[in-house]
Amino acid sequence: MSATTVVHLIGSLDRGGAESVALDLCRRIPAGEVQQVFLCLSGRVGILAPSFETTGAIVEAMNIRSPIEAARLVRAAVQRYRPDAVVSHVSLASGWLLTAAWTAGARIRIARLHSVGDGRGNGFGRRAYRVVSRLLMVGFATRIVAVSRSSLEFGLGRWAPFIRQGRSFVLGNGVDTERFAPSVEVRSEGEPRVIHVGRGSPEKNRAALVPIFLALERTIRTRWWIVGPGDTADLGTLPGDRFEVLGDRSDVPSLLGRSDVLVLPSLREGLPGVILEALSTGVPVVASELETLRELATALPGIRLVSPHAAPEVWADAIAEVIALAHRDAEGLRSAVVDSDFAIERSVRDWRHLFGAR
């Protein structure tokens, strides 16, 4: 029996939540069962492309210069690969791309919604684009699958009442609880370790990290790791050698395992996989009180929420309190993830079904 073929439409395969989840699915679902093809619409494949190819996935960059060309190239790719399913990961643009996939004969067309906004303002042109994109998504996606209720609401907007039951739903990301497990390495002794994992983009609000570090210094001495791609311009003036910027790293499971608390002061999140990774490693989290994170905190223990606009001292107090309790129930945090719908095994089962795997 031939493998099921799935074409993914994605910006690039750089480090990020959507990309990490896709890579975990490729690792867990053999290419002989589901042949996954990643078409990178930014014109570059990204740093994780070799890891995808190691699993047997096919990675291809598409040099797109206009929306019309994007539709044409997607249509041509669908005709060439003749996939059983097309999955679009590019927010509201999925409406346009899945319309092109429909014209090329793709039977299963899935819009995968990862975000709760696009950060593009609210001018007339942007509002019109959102209306048309959502209308196309409603019309031409056979499934609309969001990582959280908030991302589903953003993706559908006012069209939500027109979606028949079962066609749109929330399916959270899954974390590989084997890769993200409590470390055999000893966590920091004396000075607790605080870690932040996130790229240097405005919605991650990394500018808040140095003021929080300095406020925390008035209570306890800590060491910080800042992990993720991007330069340090958004961080401002770095406060010294106990605040280390590690940049893009492939050993995040080990770094989390040697940390006491994860801090995430984001202004916008869909479903941050790093929170699931931290909890699976037994590391508690202090994060922004956003709607999507309130959803997650209701489902899993170990998440302390603070207003993203709170003073650094408020964040520092929350971190200090969490550090004091950090090692008391690490196994309980992990067990809650393992037994939840956020474990990778559930994700693999559900995506096999959505792909129409034979």
Count the alpha carbons within 13 Å of 298 in the hemisphere toward its beta carbon. Answer: 8
Domain ranges of the chain: 4-174+343-355, 193-338
Q: For residues 306 and 200, what is the distance between their CA atoms, to the nearest angstrom?
A: 21
Q: Is 210 helix (H, G, I), strand (E, B) or coil?
A: helix
Percentage with pLDDT > 90 across the chain: 75
Which pLDDT belongs to residue 245?
95
Mean pLDDT of 235-251: 92
Q: Which CATH class is domain 4-174+343-355?
A: alpha beta
Instruction: Compute and round to an integer the Cα radius of gyration of the chain.
Output: 21
Q: Is 44 helix (H, G, I), strand (E, B) or coil?
A: coil
Can you say whether the dihedral through the CA atoms of 37, 86, 83, 65 is positive or negative?
negative
For residue 213, which of 247, 231, 238 has the smallest C-alpha distance?
238
Domains 4-174+343-355 and 193-338 agree in fold: yes
Which pLDDT belongs to residue 257?
92
pLDDT of residue 82 exceeding 80, the answer is yes
Which pLDDT tens digit goes with each residue over 130-163? 999 999 999 999 999 999 999 999 998 877 766 7
What residues contact 27, with CB distance under 8 A and at least 6 apart?
55, 176
* pLDDT band of 166, cuts 50, 70, 90: confident
For residue 107, which of 84, 133, 132 has the smallest C-alpha distance?
84
* pLDDT band of 187, cuts 50, 70, 90: low
| Residues 24, 176 contacting (CB under 8 angstroms) | yes
Burial class (CB in 10 A: 0-12, 13-18, 19+), 117: middle
pLDDT of residue 119 exceeding 80, the answer is no
pLDDT of residue 88 exceeding 90, the answer is yes
Burial class (CB in 10 A: 0-12, 13-18, 19+), 250: exposed
Sheet containing strand 261-264, edge to edge, reads 243-247, 223-227, 193-197, 261-264, 285-288, 303-306
Report in angstroms the alpha-carbon separations of 291 from 153, 159, 354: 11, 20, 27
Site of tokens 């007339």: 124
Write the CATH number of the domain with boundaries 193-338. Answer: 3.40.50.2000
Which pLDDT tens digit goes with each residue over 246-268? 998 989 999 999 999 999 999 99
For residue 192, which of 336, 329, 316 has the smallest C-alpha distance?
316
Which pLDDT belongs to residue 324?
86
Mean pLDDT of 203-231: 94
Task: Record the tokens describing residue 289, joined without a space.
Answer: 């009180």
Burial class (CB in 10 A: 0-12, 13-18, 19+), 61: middle
Percentage with pLDDT > 70 across the chain: 96
Q: For residues 161 and 134, what is the distance between their CA atoms, to the nearest angstrom?
A: 12
Which pLDDT belongs to residue 282?
94
* Lowest mean pLDDT across 10-19, 23-32, 101-110, 300-309: 10-19
Q: What is the mean pLDDT of the chain?
A: 91
Q: For residues 172 and 149, what is the distance between their CA atoms, to the nearest angstrom?
A: 9
Sheet containing strand 143-146, edge to edge, reads 58-61, 34-40, 4-10, 85-88, 108-113, 143-146, 168-170
Which pLDDT tens digit goes with each residue over 273-330? 999 999 999 999 999 999 999 999 999 999 999 999 999 999 999 999 999 876 678 8
* pLDDT band of 186, cuts 50, 70, 90: low
User: What element of type H or E holds 53?
Assistant: helix 49-54
Q: Is 192 helix (H, G, I), strand (E, B) or coil?
A: coil
Which pLDDT belongs to residue 80?
95
Task: Record the tokens describing residue 206, joined without a space.
Answer: 């990394």
Kindly report whether the global pTM for this prediction surpasses the value 0.75: yes
Burial class (CB in 10 A: 0-12, 13-18, 19+), 119: exposed
| Residues 113, 144 contacting (CB under 8 angstroms) | yes
Q: For residues 263 and 304, what is the distance between their CA atoms, to the nearest angstrom?
A: 10
pLDDT of residue 236 exceeding 80, the answer is yes
Q: For residues 358 and 353, what is the distance between their CA atoms, to the nearest angstrom?
A: 9
Mean pLDDT of 103-129: 88
